[in-house]
Amino acid sequence: MLDHNILKKRSAVLILLLAVLLVLIFHVEVSAESLEKFDSTSTTELQALSEDISEDGFQVNAELSDIETTDTELDEFETDVVETDDYSESETSGLIVVTDNEEISAVTESSVIIQPEQSELDVLDNTDSIESQLTDVDILTTEENNEVDSLYNKIKNSGYVSERWSLAQQFKRLYPSDSRVQEVIDFAGTSMLNYGVSLHQAGNYNQAISYYNAALSDSSISLSIREKANGYKAQALLGSKLETSDSLYNKIKNSGYVSERWSLAQQFKRLYPSDSRVQAGNYNQAISYYNAALSDSSISLSIREKANGYKALAIKNEKINKVVYLDPGHGGRDSGAYYGGIREETLNLKISNLIKAGMEKLGYEVIMSRTKDIYIDLLERARDANNKNPDIFVSVHNNAMPNNSSVNGIMTYYYKYYPEWQPVINPEMHNDPTRIEQSRQLADAIQKSLILATGARDLGLRRNTFAVLRETKMPAVLLELGFMSNPTELSKLNTTSYQTILANAVVKGIHNHFTK
């Protein structure tokens, strides 16, 4: 017979087991209901989750491989990767971008290309308006201008001659089109010259020569500076005490002797030919005094020999009664070459006016085909020159090579006969041998003077049948003073200093032609 306590314990265990069984039965029923609900909705929900996404520049298509009831099985899917290059034309009209909030937006072709892992903020930054992009360009331009100004200020503020020279050469090389190039080059050249003068005055001739040579080495330095350097160098080579243009000029003015004045004046002219104080002088009157000294046999032989030598010099430098016809090329509706906002017709007229002033200073009469911006037919220019009968005809032009901006240099033309180009108003004289030879000699004198003064590339003498060369009766030349199509040469041609150098060289060439 079982003990009563044991029975009570067994009954309690049975009751507990029964309770556990009931709980398990209830859990299984709930799970079944959940599975039934899931089975009816899972396919729709999972299909809604399947979509195309953009990732690392590729189109990713995600598809569920199978729909099961476990989390592990739901995570399994296949991916088909397709490069955007394989899209059809309609598909490439935009890239599909999936943002963090799963809203889809299209980026059109006009927008920037979005790089991998780029945030929306990055996209907004890169697709700013055109105005913001222009602002960036403006900032770059401002920075570049600041660099130019900084280098310019370094040159002007430097306390060392060699540093000024080095920086000025750097400025010319980096910014050849800057309007201040000539200024800084002349500033550095003058610094070299002045330091050479200080060494010269201290008796350091060899060191002075090295600084004079530096000022002479750069042909873009103004002619007046280089001529001073050349004059000072000539004295230093002789070991002579420096005679500056001012000191020599004062000696001439203060001398009480005619012969000494004449000798010093010739020295002044030789050393400083572009100095504004060089004057042609009254050679005829001087010659009359020399003749008077030569006519009196009682005057000592040494004096008469000096008078004879001075007379020869006076005859050589006597003012010449010659007429020059200057023809500034183009004009009016015919502007000639056009580069960098600069018209050839304008350059031609500016340089011609400077030539006119220089020729008149030496006593030449100058006639101009035009003095303002007007059109004149080529035959009319030649006809006008023939009617006025000048001694020579000089047409002033600037060159261009549209397909090659590297070409540079100076050339001078004179006439060549071509049977297919017959003269219209000058059948008698166009191919006259004497006129052709005199034209060649004039062209040679001017070309040599231009190259010596400018240091430009010597393109030599050329021949052609240009109308103004063919239809004129007198010796005639046509000058091409530089290439406007070359940016570096154009920047020089557009400066008054270089125009003056060209004009003075033409004047000197013409004068040499008549006084050789």
One-character DSSP codes across 47-83: HHH--EEEETTEEEEEEES---SSHHHHT-EEEEEEE
pLDDT at 495: 96
Overall size of the chain counted in residues: 516
pLDDT for residue 76 is more than 60: no
Q: What is the pLDDT of residue 66?
A: 39
Confidence of residue 320 (pLDDT cuts 50, 70, 90): low
Residue 435 pLDDT: 95
Q: Can you state the angle between helices 161-174 and 130-157, rounded to 10 degrees?
A: 150
Q: What's residue 6's pLDDT?
A: 62
Euclidean distance between CA atoms 414 and 441, whole angstroms: 10
pTM over 0.75: no
Q: How confident is the model at residue 7 (pLDDT cuts 50, 70, 90)?
A: low
Q: Find, among 420, 407, 404, 416, the residue nearest to 456 by Cα.
A: 407
What mean pLDDT do residues 291-313 have?
78
Question: Does the pLDDT value for residue 241 go beyond 90?
Answer: no
Please, which pLDDT band fits residue 177 given cuts at 50, 70 and 90? confident
DSSP 450: H
- Provide the mean pLDDT of the chain: 76
Backbone angles phi, psi at 6, to 5 degrees: -65, -40
- Tokens 């859990």: give the residue: 27
Q: Identify the pLDDT of residue 141.
A: 52
Residue of 281 and 183 predicted with greater confidence: 183
For residue 235, give the nearest of 260, 278, 268, 261 by alpha carbon.
Answer: 268
Question: Per-residue pLDDT for 85 more than 90?
Answer: no
| Nearest C-alpha neighbor of 326 from the set 510, 117, 139 | 510
> Rounded to whole angstroms, how far apart are CA atoms 63 and 100?
21
Q: If you average pLDDT over each of 48-52, 171-175, 484-488, which comes out highest? A: 484-488
pLDDT of residue 116 exceeding 60: no
Q: Is the pLDDT of residue 330 over 60?
A: yes
Mean pLDDT (whole number) for 458-484? 97
What's the pLDDT at 340?
94
